[in-house]
Amino acid sequence: MSPITDPECRGCGTSLAATDVFCDLGAQPLANALLSADQLNQPEIHYPLRPLVCRNCLLVQLPDVPKPEGIFTDSYPFFSGQSATWLGHCKRFADQAIKRFGLGPTSRVLDIGSNDGSMLRPFRGKGIPCLGVEPSAGVAQHALMEGLPTMIDWWGTETADRLAHTEGNPTGRSWKADLVICTNVLAHVPDLKDFLDGVRAILAPGGVAMFEVPYVGNLIREVQFDQIYAEHHCYFSLKSLDVALERSGLYAFDVEHESIHGGSLRVYARDHHNWSAGASVPWMRELLEEGDTRRLHDLATYADFAVEPPKAKRRALNQLGRYYSGKRVVGYGASAKAAVTLNYFGLGPETIEFVADTTPVKWGKYLPGSHIPIKPPNALEQAKPDVVVLLAWNWAAEAVPKIQAACPDAEIVVLGSECPNLAQDIFRSPITIADLAASDRRQ
């Protein structure tokens, strides 16, 4: 994409207007580019987090992004299996898909963006032949060491062609998929059309492709601005995903809304109109026209979002200034989202002493930009902090009990949220700032 021409929409090819700005989080370093101590004095490349929205298909997207080779390196630090919630999600999907699509010992399942093999494991456990494709060699090795067949490669039409024929194919024979799984991968793909053309090419006759993507409806409704970072090129609604799929000859025939990762869409597609199945498609189209889906068809919904991240930043700085000043504050969950939040809020180790995380490869490293150190979870017990900022809010149900066990007296908060205090019952009585002020007066 030459810098002198308007960027083209990744989903439909329409020229993007530089004025159709979704929000502006400033320029930040790559969210997963963790630093070692000897890198703290080196320069960090920053990328503008100023997504645009396409007037035609309403796909929210970053127009200029780093090459994926600079992101998904051998030392890419994200291991999806770090979350028991995610592992349960994968098992439930596998059980559901095996039953729904009649998969068995002669079927073939392809997981694109297979990371550490978390989604491959339940299919293998049920005797279903499966194969992963993952470009980050470090995480892929974890799958391979467990005997989960994985190609360390990028996905697109060229890889699909190699897999469909024998050369370069770990199975050694022509290979087509009855089920292609793409969870949390489409957002990372610079060339959506080539990626999706490759998915269509690898589908066996009657095969199904499943795409699970963070849902822009949740991002807007819950002001999940920390989902916006340079490795996430696109932020999908069902409409914008539908347009991208159909451009590659893939036709959605069912959709589910999942709570995982802060709210995701799961869309099933085939390489032909599935009108023969009748009911599911009209029902799905009808669903799309309802509720906030219809709001997502309105460009104004996207333009209105721009004021929300600055409001969250003001709330966070107010919370830190009024309720937590003089207190010992640490973080939990050194996620990509954590990097975005801490950099956007302008917080460093002078405010957030460290961030605890269960991922061993992250220990002893520093978050990009903020340079806040990452420590093992036992640092929580040693530090006995007054406040724990839950940065991995999308895993609250799994993480909060661990934090409470390590430091039972700490307040657990989501900075910038209108209901920041998670120490109370997460799901039934979120606490407002007024409650916090009242509790302050009681102390």
Cβ closer to ligand DWN: 297 or 371?
371
Pick the stretch among 282-290, 306-314, 317-325, 351-359 that binds ligand DWN (CB under 6 A).
Answer: 351-359
| 3-state SS, residue 77 | coil
User: Rule CB under 6 A: is residue 394 a binding residue for ligand DWN?
Assistant: yes
Residue 134 makes CB contacts below 8 A (sequence gap 6+) with 113, 114, 115, 140, 143, 150, 151, 152, 153
Nearest alpha-carbon partner for 285 in 242, 348, 336: 242
424 lines the binding site for ligand DWN (CB under 6 A): no
Q: Are 255 and 245 in contact (CB under 8 A)?
A: no
How many angstroms separate the CA atoms of 232 and 305, rounded?
A: 18
Does 111 help bind ligand DWN (rule: CB under 6 A)?
no
**Nearest distance from C-beta of residue 229 to ligand DWN, angstroms:** 7
Q: Is 370 in the site for ligand DWN (CB under 6 A)?
A: no
Place of tokens 């978390």: 118
With CB under 6 A as the contact rule, the residue among 180, 209, 392, 436 that binds ligand DWN is 392
**Which of 264, 359, 370, 421 is in the footprint of ligand DWN by CB under 6 A?**
359
| Footprint (CB under 6 A) of ligand DWN, residues 195-224 | none
Asked if 233 interacts with ligand DWN (CB under 6 A), we say: no
Taking residues 143 to 172 in sequence order and writing x for each that binds ligand DWN by CB under 6 A, - otherwise, the string is ------------------------------
Q: Which is nearer to ligand DWN, 86 or 175 (CB)?
A: 86
The residue among 429, 381, 422 whose CA lies nearest residue 400 is 422
For ligand DWN, the closer CB: 237 or 359: 359
Q: Is 127 buried (19+), middle (13-18) or exposed (0-12) by CB count in 10 A?
A: exposed
- Which residue's beta carbon is nearest to the bound ligand DWN? 335
Does position 62 interact with ligand DWN (CB under 6 A)? The reply is no
Q: How far is the CB of 157 from ligand DWN (least distance, A)?
A: 23
Closer residue to ligand DWN in complex, CB, 262/348: 262
Tokens in use for 30? Answer: 């790559």
Rounded distance, CA 50 to CA 175, Å? 40
> 28, 224, 335, 421: which one contacts ligand DWN (CB under 6 A)?
335
Q: Which of 126, 10, 114, 3 is nearest to 62 (CA)?
A: 10
Q: Rank residues 55 and 402 by Cβ distance to ligand DWN and give the closer one.
A: 402
What 3-state class would DSSP assign to 157?
helix
The tokens for 207 are 């095969």
Strands 203-214 and 329-332: unpaired
Among 28, 83, 341, 421, the residue binding ligand DWN under the rule CB under 6 A is 83
- Decide: is 308 part of the binding site for ligand DWN (CB under 6 A): no
* Size of interface with ligand DWN, in residues (CB under 6 A): 21
Exactly one of 14, 75, 169, 358 binds ligand DWN (CB under 6 A); that residue is 358
Structure tokens at 353: 């002493």
Pairing relation of β-strands 374-375 and 264-270?
Answer: unpaired
The pair phi, psi for residue 399, each rounded to 5°, is -85, -40
Q: Is 404 in the site for ligand DWN (CB under 6 A)?
A: no
Scanning residues 257 to 276, which ones bind ligand DWN (CB under 6 A)? 261
For 65, half-sphere exposure in the C-beta direction (CA atoms, 13 angstrom radius) is: 25
Choose which of 134, 153, 242, 357 interacts with ligand DWN (CB under 6 A).
357
What is the Cβ-side half-sphere exposure of residue 5, based on CA atoms within 13 angstroms? 8
Residues 398, 253: Cα–Cα separation, whole Å: 32
**To the nearest whole angstrom, how small is the minimum distance from the Cβ of residue 247 to ligand DWN?**
23
Single out the residue of 331, 333, 385, 416 in contact with ligand DWN (rule: CB under 6 A).
333
- Minimum CB separation of residue 315 from ligand DWN in Å reads 21
Binding footprint of ligand DWN on the chain (CB under 6 A)? 78, 82-83, 184, 231, 261, 333-337, 357-359, 362, 392, 394-395, 398-399, 402
